[in-house]
Chain A
């Protein structure tokens, strides 16, 4: 369970949001909405522990995430604007290496399967340099399937994805939620998710 209480985010002189609280239970998805520059990415980075809130705290199962450190990071998957996809490596190498760096090594077959599931069949051994923006995004998203993490934090995961890939990703997130996972995400596009699981959070 993820809990945030009374969060404040300050960028320079300006306070982006204050007094923000929410709670996320297993099986639920939090959709963060707001205009450009309203602090969505800042909030997501705070949830990951990459940035510290000016005030307030974030707890995972009742413990502050700062204190949990690696134990919390082992439950967390963050997918940011930058996809951490290396142009010089092939799609398959990228998928396996990011899983290894995260601390959950996978074998070749599992990585191939995940790439195929996201519609990259036949592209596994191409260097990421020659892939399109949408295909690179799919390579980045294979981490969702490979690293078995409880909490997914996704910053604009739909950028550059086509309609089939969006539907595909919706299914992946739904399956994750159905199995008791959690997700926090931002998106300016509509993401088809099963009704009843999604909570909205507006930043103004």
Chain B
């Protein structure tokens, strides 16, 4: 199949998933609302201790982003599995890997990207400086696609399994740890005056690795789940 038609198939899957999400906005909004609430609870609970808040801000924002992404994972393949669309994707003349990549990109556009864009507003509650907020957004922009890519593998492996929601968190959360460490580390390094470049480069390396292996592993897992 020609390269252009693969690209247009990729675009079509992304558009399809965005269209479906627009028709069912509550799913997307739940994730975002969860993120906003969890992050906002911390300053309210801890009180106006600026130094403390600044220190915990990166960790809190990243943990909340991790959990919010987890929440949205089971809707990644479940609906398509239930109504037979996934079977049709597996039987398409377009390689399943391309369609899966499209679905992961759409998932990121609906979960990771809004989280990254919301983060500076929420970061203000933690008294973060403008520079640190910028680093936070960049770290989230590089890190959240990794969360979607790894999460897709977990979602595919637990497809059709009873209690898959719990299983997916056991499976995926340990794999999120490196992203959490370097994502939060980037902001902490910036706060400490060390510069965030090293952490961000490592995050980008994770992204490259996940972008290469993620769709492939997800495709294999989906074919097993469909059999």
Contacts and interface: CB of A to CB of B under 8 A. Distances in A.
B93 interface: yes
Contacts of A35: none
A101 B227 CA distance: 20
Given A80-B84, A84-B83, A105 B23 contact: no
B201 interface: no
Contacts of B12: 97, 100-101, 105
A49 interface: yes
B contacts with A: majority SS? helix
Contact of B83 (A51, A76, A83, A93): A83
B5, B13, B92, B226 — most chain A CB neighbours (10 Å): B92
Q: How large is the interface on A (under 10, 10 to 19, 20 to 34, 35 or more residues)?
A: 20 to 34
B85 A84 contact: yes
Interface string B1-35: 10001001100110010011001100000000000
Interface residues of B, number: 27
A104 B12 CA distance: 11
Interface in A77-123: 78, 80-86, 88-89, 93, 97-98, 100-105
Interface string B96-127: 00010000000000000000000000000000
A102 B84 contact: no
Contacts of A80: 84, 87
B95 interface: yes
A80 B90 CA distance: 13
A49 B91 CA distance: 8
A97 B16 contact: yes
Interface string B142-172: 0000000000000000000000000000000
Interface string A54-90: 0000000000000000100110101011111110110
Contacts of A185: none
A48 interface: yes
Given A50-B227, A70-B1, A89-B19, A102 B83 contact: no
29 contacts: A50-B90, A50-B227, A70-B1, A73-B93, A74-B93, A78-B88, A80-B84, A84-B85, A85-B83, A86-B20, A97-B16, A98-B85, A98-B88, A100-B9, A100-B12, A101-B9, A101-B12, A101-B16, A101-B85, A101-B89, A101-B94, A102-B92, A102-B94, A103-B1, A103-B5, A103-B9, A103-B92, A105-B8, A105-B12
Interface of B: 1, 5, 8-9, 12-13, 16, 19-20, 23-24, 82-85, 87-95, 99, 226-227
Question: Which 9 pairs between the two chains have the least Cβ-Cβ distance?
Answer: A82-B84, A103-B93, A74-B93, A88-B23, A84-B84, A103-B94, A84-B85, A100-B12, A84-B88
Given A85-B83, A88-B24, 11 more contacts: A49-B91, A50-B227, A70-B1, A84-B88, A86-B85, A88-B23, A98-B88, A101-B88, A103-B1, A105-B8, A105-B12
